[in-house]
Structures are given as C-alpha cells and as structure tokens.
Amino acid sequence: MAGAGGYAELLGRLAGVRTLGVDLGLERMRLALARLGDPQARFAAVQIAGTNGKGSTAAMTEAVLREAGLRTGLYSSPHLARFTERIRVDGQEANGDRLAALDRLVAATEVPLTYFEVATALAFLAMAEAGVEIAVLETGLGGRLDAVTTCVPCATAITSIGLDHTEYLGDTLAAIAREKAGILKAGVSCFLGRLPREADDEIARVAESAGALLFRYGQDFGPTPFSPALAGAHQKENAALAAQLARAAGRHLGRTIDDRTMERGLAGVRWPGRCERVGDDLLFDAAHNADGARALAAALPALAADRRVVLVVSIVGDKDAAAMFAALAPAAAAIVTTRSDNPRAVAAAELAAIAARFTADVVACDDPVAALAEARGRAGAGGLVVVCRPPTRSVQSTLLSGCRARRRRSCPGSRWPRTSAGSPPAPPSNHRRR
C-alpha cells in the first residue's frame, strides 16, 4: 500500500500535467524514453488496440501468461479508483511510493509529457525494474500516435473498430482503422477480432505496407473451447484473441501454452467493471459507447435470467447517446438516467429526453445514489439493476452504502414521456483528458 508522502506527490504532479489534455504523437515519448535508457526495450510486449474489448482481452492474455509461469506486466487505462491500478506486475498493483520515485526520473528528462505519456513511461520503468518477461499493454487512444506504440511487441491485436473518439481518430471506420493499425510491425503477427469490411480492408492495406502478418477471427482461428470468467458472449471472442496472443507470446519466449494453462488462466481472470456482479441485485458494466451498449444488451438476457431489468445510465458528452439508448432500451423495463462524477458527463435530464425516444419508462436523477435507489425500487424484489458506465470505485462505494441507508428515496428529477422525434441540444463538447 502506498504511503501518503510520495504517492501524494505523484498524484499532484499528474493533476498538473493533466491540464495538457490530449496531444498525440511519439516524438516526446521517444525522447523521454531514450533519456531513461529505453526501459521498454528490456521486455517483450503484447500490444492491444480496439474501440472496445481491448482491456478485457489484455486482462485475459496476462492471466494466461501468468498461469504459464511467466513474470508478467499489465498496463491498462483508465483506472477505476487508484492510479496504481493501471500498472501491475504478476497480478499485483504497483506501489504508489515506488512509482513516485520513478516519476522523479521521468520529470528529470525535462520532456513535457502528457498525463498518459507519464503513466506509460512509469509503466515501462516499473516493469523493467521488476524484471518482467512479457508485458501486456492496452493502447490508450488510436494506436499510430499513442504512447504505448513505443513498445517492442512480439504480437499485436485489434479487437474491434467502431465510431468513437472521432475528433482525434477520424469520422469513418476506415480512418479509425488506419489509426489503430499503426500498432502493426514488420514480421509481427496481428490478430483481428470481427471487424466491419471497410475497417478490415484498411487494416489489410496497412499490414501489407508494414509487412505485418494478419490472422482473422472466424477465418484463421475460432473460439477457444475454454470459458473465460468474464460474462457475456462478446467475452468469448475476446478470449479467442487472448488465446492467440498468449500462444504467440509463449512461442516468442520459448514457453508452450498448453490447454490446461489456457483453461486455468481464462477461468481465473478478474476484470472489474465488466458485467461485474455486486451482490444479487446489482451489476456494473463499463459500456461507454454504442458498440459497448450493444454488447451489454446482447449479454443481458442470459445475465438477467428473466428478471426485471432496470438500467442506471450516465453518458459523457462526446458519445452517441441516442445509439446507446436504442441498443439498451429493448433489454430493460425502465431506465434511470444520472450524472457520474466525470466532468464531461451529460446532465440526467438531457439524457432522459433522449432515452424517452426509445422507452416509455424513464426518470432523470442527477444524484447517482438517488438514481440507484430509484432503480432498485422500480426493479422490485427479485429484479436486477444494471449500472451502465459506472463511476469511479469511490462513487460506487457511495452508491452501495447510500442505498442501504435510504433504500427507496424518490428522485427529484423529471419523468419523460415517449416522443417520436427530436432531442435536446447537444451538450457542450469537453476536451478529453488522458
């Protein structure tokens, strides 16, 4: 556990560099890493990109490789409660005080890095120092200009392609695919999930130019026979990618990944916030865009098992809320809109006006604790409340404790009738921070 001094110092510096926002590019990162002795060159890496599914795929890949006896690193983003969650060695969360000490080295490079670049440099330093043999790295945004792409991969994957972060990656599937395909390297295998045709075609063009090897789900490999611990049909496809990545990394390191290792690794993976059960009547899921909402909606019938489902939904300003509600509404008896602790979150009333186009039973409740209490009341005994795009762990704890204290608090928000067309004005676009 991190002590107050060093870790607090690190968090203070991260808060300062966060104001730089997003500034994609590799030049600063490469310069800083060179001044740090290129720690990313001291271990093999698996790099994973994609609109959705990359975090779950990374977690499963790392779990299998760790089960095989390799010393593993895992780098993921964003974190739920603590910055240290982003960096793990052999499944153990990084020590905050040690990261603070490493950050002094990063600061000493005098390269003006963004929040995500600092985090990535810290991950590389911590993993090199710990003697990691294989690091599983989740790409932050896109791929071509993402800080993680400075790694030295022995295998890569692109899990999915959808319209998300279009202000940075482009507004077509082909443009977004081109950015994500920037992780491809000559002679390195890249495993593709099920992709739209235009995205697949664009990645194939990049692969041919880069000299990368492509292997496609459903064509070159299929589902693994082993069930992952993570719920949802979409996780079976992610598990198939993880199996291919783990075996490719194993071959690179001269370690055979046998079926028993694969089975135990997938069965033992833990990845909070992905169809995560919290008690009998509550489920958290990290769906935050249209594709994620569709995956959650497809998983809900099996997860709910004929129980009455009520959704609690918070959405940030740069997402397609209408597409998300279109996917989620048929899977739920009612929707309670709320506002998470994300500064870019849309007001509950604005979301409710959009949701009312797709379902008759909508209530707006800005306070997340009151929203959860309202949803539990509407779900009734034996029902299931699904919190879509849950807030940070600290707020999740507040939700749970608050609802125990006031199980049936009414929402001060408005109920919205169904409308045939129209939606409220789009909320102001806030700059995405990493």
Shared-domain flag, residues 184 and 298:
no
Shared-domain flag, residues 230 and 165:
yes
> Largest alpha-carbon pair distance within the chain?
62
Quick one: pLDDT band at residue 413, thresholds 50, 70, 90? very low
Shared-domain flag, residues 283 and 144:
no
Cα separation values, 268 from 79, 85, 133, 247, 338, Å: 21, 18, 20, 17, 33
Mean pLDDT to the nearest integer, 109-131: 97
Amino acid at 41: A
Burial class (CB in 10 A: 0-12, 13-18, 19+), 189: buried
Which residues have a Cβ under 8 Å from the Cβ of 423 and sit 6 or more positions away?
322, 353, 354, 357
pLDDT at 419 over 90: no
Q: Cβ(357)–Cβ(418) under 8 Å?
A: yes
Cβ atoms < 10 Å from Cβ of 433: 15
- pLDDT score at 318: 78
Condensed to tens digits (0 to 9), the pLDDT of residues 40-85 reads 999 999 999 998 889 999 999 999 999 999 999 999 988 877 899 9
- pLDDT score at 424: 31
Shared-domain flag, residues 112 and 48:
yes
Mean pLDDT of the chain: 87
- The tally of domains found in the chain comes to 2
- Do the domain assignments include residue 428? no
Condensed to tens digits (0 to 9), the pLDDT of residues 142-179 reads 889 999 999 999 999 999 998 777 777 888 999 999 99
d(CA 422, CA 129): 56
Domain with 319 in it:
276-416
Q: Cβ(411)–Cβ(365) under 8 Å?
A: yes
Instruction: Give me the percent of the chain exceeding a pLDDT of 70.
Output: 88
- If you count them, how many residues does the chain have? 434
Shared-domain flag, residues 133 and 233:
yes
Cα 254–Cα 238–Cα 323 angle in degrees, nearest 5: 155
The CATH number assigned to the domain holding 353 equals 3.90.190.20
